[in-house]
Amino acid sequence: MNSNSRYLEDNYYEPCRKDRRDHDDRDRDRDKKNQTEVTLKCSSPGSVAIPVLADPGSTFTPTSLTVNTSKCCNPCTKLEFTSNITLPVGFVGTLSFQIFKQCRNQFTPVPVGPAFTFARTVALVVGEASTFSFFICDCDSCNDDCCTYSVVITNQTAIELGATITNATLSALTVCQVNKCNCC
């Protein structure tokens, strides 16, 4: 390397390096403003036995969990429910599954999303076991909320010959912005 090439290296490439450092600093500042936080929470597996000839409108809660978004801005939570349903011989009935949430300073739980239906209209000749799952998103929470989400199963028919819901699990994946708050 001769003296001219050293001059070129110092004077030609240095502005590029400086521009790159400035660019990196701008990216770092932008990333700090747009930081997001992700939290995953899962309930313990629960179960519930729906009795033979349960009254229409009877409700059962197999699982619930509490999500704390007190350090979040504009939180959005994906809730996923999964379970195993065991049906006895002769089962006929309809069950609806819906997630409810109750946050701080609320007296009654409010529904989150639609109800999901599990139904058998023809009596089973042999017992049956199947899985039942669904997911919804709840992006209607304010900052500093601590909410409990519960899955509520409602018997929809007068003819109910018992069912068992096992391994009922609710999980919550919450994403929120850390620095930008403009909610509620």
pLDDT, tens digit (0-9, with 9 covering 90-100), for 127-167: 788 999 999 999 887 666 789 999 999 998 866 668 899 99
Task: Kindly state the average pLDDT of the residues 98-125.
Answer: 89
Residue pair 149/67 in contact by the 8 Å Cβ criterion: yes
Per-residue pLDDT, 128: 86
Helices (H), the chain: 3-12, 14-33
Mean of per-residue pLDDT scores for the chain: 82
Per-residue pLDDT, 113: 92
Is the predicted pLDDT of residue 20 greater than 70, yes or no?
A: no
Residue 87 CA: distances (Å) to CA of 46, 108, 170:
17, 32, 21
Farthest-apart Cα atoms in the chain, separation? 96
Separation CA 22–CA 89 (nearest Å): 72
Per-residue pLDDT, 34: 64
Task: Kindly state the average pLDDT of the residues 15-40.
Answer: 64
Confidence band, pLDDT 50/70/90 cuts, at residue 180: low
Confidence band, pLDDT 50/70/90 cuts, at residue 100: very high
- List the single range of 11-20, 28-37, 131-140 with lowest mean pLDDT: 11-20
**How many other β-carbons are positioned within 10 Å of the β-carbon of residue 153?**
24
Per-residue pLDDT, 98: 97
Residue pair 31/177 in contact by the 8 Å Cβ criterion: no
50 φ/ψ angles, rounded to the nearest 5 degrees: -90, 120
Per-residue pLDDT, 120: 85
Separation CA 158–CA 93 (nearest Å): 8
Separation CA 72–CA 3 (nearest Å): 57
Separation CA 159–CA 53 (nearest Å): 6
Beta bridge partners of 93: 120
